[in-house]
Structure 1
Amino acid sequence: MLRQQQRQLREYLNRKRNVEEANKRLGDVKRLREALDTNKPIPSDLRGTELPNGNMIVADGNDCVIDDEYRLCGTYDPRILITTSQKPTGPCIRFAKEFALMVPNSTRVNRGQMNEEELMELCKAQGCTDYIQFSGSDGEGRPTLMVISHLPYGPTAHFTIRQLMLRSDLSEKPPKMKQALPHLIFHNFDGQIGHRIMRILKFIFPKPSTIDDQDTRVISFINLGNDVIYVRHHTILSNSTLRKFRQHDPALKDMTTSQKDSLLENIDLDEQGPRFTLEPFKIIRGIPGQKYADIEWQRSYYVRKSAKILGTQNL
């Protein structure tokens, strides 16, 4: 088993090197494309070098390489292990329970005195695909840190949790949470880091089959342009208007956009909770407890810049 894991790790590191080389080539192609489009001189460091494949030069502007770690996602249902820090507070335990209800095929375990290396061995032995941990505490005991790690070799994303509101804290008591597979909505994740964060969050949920006539769960991840992810969990109530959209009623083809919007106003949403925001600040190429893991991206604080990290839109 140990030799097999070492061989898989070598293959994974080799693939990551190939991805880094492909990213560098795509960066050179982008600079060359901009120089040709704007009729400017070719950058000096690209002169005298072998040009990349011609098909790459006429490719579209998408310079993001597909994440190699998630190449098989969608062909199987993920298995998630959710836990907390070693000495969690009461709100942290309740949030872990509610988050386990949000994510299908997830199992919440009490960590006890297990360290990170033992937790990773437990996840691999149980065949888990992702690991989620909540820790930290604000003035009221609510967790402030969320870690999502894709097994067995990463990546691992770190988020800051803010504005947490549990189901019990909502103004109206939500009904019993449905166990249907949720439909995901991601908005304004068109940046390279935003695309990476979106894939990390998306693949902890199983792929929904079809939309039936029963109540449908929707989990939204919205970026309003300030690099803060607003997470909301709703249930769409079934009605005749929604069935028309589900069944692709031919009468909808003759309607204008404003008429369709007026119909959609009749759809009721019930917030299930919990409600919180996520602020990503670090992505590493490894798993928790792994030494010498490379930092793929880290937020730079106290830097004057207007560039958006997750998306380019301002809402």
Structure 2
Amino acid sequence: MRVKSGLGYNPGVWYTRVYPRSPLFHLVRSSPSSFNCFFFLFFIYCLRGGRPLPKILPINLVLQPPHPPPLLPPTPAAPSPILPAVRRPPQSASRLNHLNGSAVDIKKAELKKYIKEKMKDREALLPSAIKNKEKRSAVHAKLKHQKKLEKKKKAKVREAEEKKALELGEEPPARPIPRTIENTRELDETVCKPDDEELFAGNDADEFSCILKEERTPKVLITTSRFHSSRGPAFIQELISVIPNAHYHKRGTYDLKKIVEYANNKDFTSIIVVHTNRREPDALLVIGLPSGPTAHFKLSRLVLRKDIKNHGNPTNHQPELVFNNFTTRLGHRVGRLIQSLFPQDPNFRGRRVVTFHNQRDFIFFRHHRYIFETKESKEPESQGKGKKEAAKTQEKVITRLQECGPRFTLKLISLQHGTFDTKGGEYEWTHKPEMDTSRRRFFL
């Protein structure tokens, strides 16, 4: 494409605006043929969308390489002032040796100080930061021993202060209370109080009052889920030995609602369903009859009787019941539901005790036998100076425990009104992940 001469431009000369540092400039400069110039102008024409070209310059003028700036002669540097040389007085050989020795002593002192600091840092190093197993165990044992010695020293000082206060007839200093998650729990409005008349009135009218008042004897039906494992029956057998008047019925293909109807017709007071998953019992469903409620517990940390070291065998006596830390309204209701599984007239001759201990909403189950024994202890009695001390015997009553098993932990998942109903049942309480936002919030 040629530019017409009528436009005021010189015909036969290609015009455009080219920058010397652009790749197109190098393309045209390397081979300034007519084809390359045509392709170059057509490319710019297409980029501008067919609009007229701006103010342009002839290529032969623009393609000239830029002239470098003229080199100026270097300016001479200012002469630096010449300072007069300072001569030091000559030193003797003994003086030089003395100075070198003091420098060596300073370096040795600094090195010793550095080594001591490193040793202190190594002693203060945590065992978890040591990779060598033998060194890590040695450091851990050393720290444990130091803590034990410090604890004993503090205990001796505290005993001496208490003894001195008793001799002077003063009150001994109060022992410090350790800060734990339990005594720093969040305030809960539903915590039961000993003077709560509404709570006692509700206990007289709830679903468990007839059993807890010994108006009705508890009778428990124990069954399994449809697909139970080999460890499930062993756990059920031990539950039958723990809960008096408990009966096992095979589940088969029966629906749970039909089992509830059957238990109501046979005058059962409760149903326990042991759910298994991957050949391991993992949940308990406790249904109160005839009108509920239904509690769903997660079962964990199951240890059977045969796996407990030095275990004992339980007798057929009715056990004593111990319930700890069921302080809220919900915990009180769950505790009464579990309490309704057992008869309320324990036989103290059997010395059996069943414990349900609630701690941080985990219910720990333990089954023990206990015995009282008298133990004689000899204490020296002073009879004055120069005489031997005579031994004085004292008898102390101690209690010994023997675990009978099983051992497991329960975690409440839901509490439902009435008997088991997955479709139309109303829930009193359900556990949700949004509730676990604080470690100091408990619901039981």
Match of 2:429 in 1: 297
The SS at the match of 2:234 is helix
In structure 2, the CA distance between the partners of 1:209 and 1:278, relative to structure 1 (3 Å rule), is closer
Shift of 1:239: 4.2
In structure 2, the CA distance between the partners of 1:97 and 1:60, relative to structure 1 (3 Å rule), is same
Q: Structure 2: how far apart are the matches of 1:295 and 1:62?
A: 25
Match of 2:334 among 197, 201, 207: 197
Counterpart of 1:147, as a letter, is L
Kindly report which structure 2 residues correspond to 1:236-275, keeping only aligned pairs within 5 A, or say none.
Answer: 236-237=370-371, 239=373, 263=396, 266-275=398-407
Shift of 1:180: 0.6
Q: Structure 1: how far apart are the matches of 2:358 and 2:326?
A: 7
Q: Structure 2: how far apart are the matches of 1:283 and 1:117?
A: 17
8 Å contact 2:319–2:347 — kept in the other structure? Answer: no
Match of 2:344 in 1: 207
Unpaired runs of 5+ residues, structure 2, are 1-188, 376-394
The two structures have a TM-score, normalised by structure 1, of 0.67
8 Å contact 1:230–1:277 — kept in the other structure? Answer: yes
Shift of 1:76: 2.0
Shift of 1:114: 1.2
The SS at the match of 1:184 is strand
Shift of 1:291: 4.4
The SS at the match of 1:72 is helix
The two structures have a TM-score, normalised by structure 2, of 0.48
Match of 1:308 in 2: 442
Q: Structure 1: how far apart are the matches of 2:270 and 2:418?
A: 12
Shift of 1:126: 1.2
Counterpart of 1:136, as a letter, is T
In structure 2, the CA distance between the partners of 1:289 and 1:61, relative to structure 1 (3 Å rule), is closer
The question of 1:118 aligning with 2:258 is answered: yes
Counterpart of 1:69, as a letter, is E
The question of 1:161 aligning with 2:309 is answered: no
Shift of 1:235: 0.7
Q: Structure 2: how far apart are the matches of 1:282 and 1:209?
A: 30
The SS at the match of 1:268 is strand
The SS at the match of 2:429 is strand
Structure with higher RCO (Cα < 8 A, 6+ apart)? 1
Kindly report which structure 2 residues correspond to 1:1-315, keeping only aligned pairs within 5 A, or say none.
Answer: 60-61=195-196, 64=199, 65-66=202-203, 68-73=206-211, 74-138=214-278, 141-172=279-310, 174-212=311-349, 215-224=350-359, 226-237=360-371, 239=373, 263=396, 266-289=398-421, 291-303=423-435, 304-305=437-438, 306-310=440-444
The SS at the match of 2:210 is coil
8 Å contact 1:116–1:289 — kept in the other structure? Answer: no
Q: Structure 2: how far apart are the matches of 1:158 and 1:123?
A: 19
Q: Structure 2: how far apart are the matches of 1:263 and 1:300?
A: 50
8 Å contact 2:319–2:346 — kept in the other structure? Answer: no
Shift of 1:190: 1.0
In structure 2, the CA distance between the partners of 1:210 and 1:103, relative to structure 1 (3 Å rule), is closer
- Name the larger-Rg structure: 2
Match of 2:44 in 1: none
Number of residue-to-residue matches in the alignment: 227
Shift of 1:176: 2.9
Aligned-residue RMSD, C-alpha:
2.3
In structure 2, the CA distance between the partners of 1:209 and 1:279, relative to structure 1 (3 Å rule), is closer
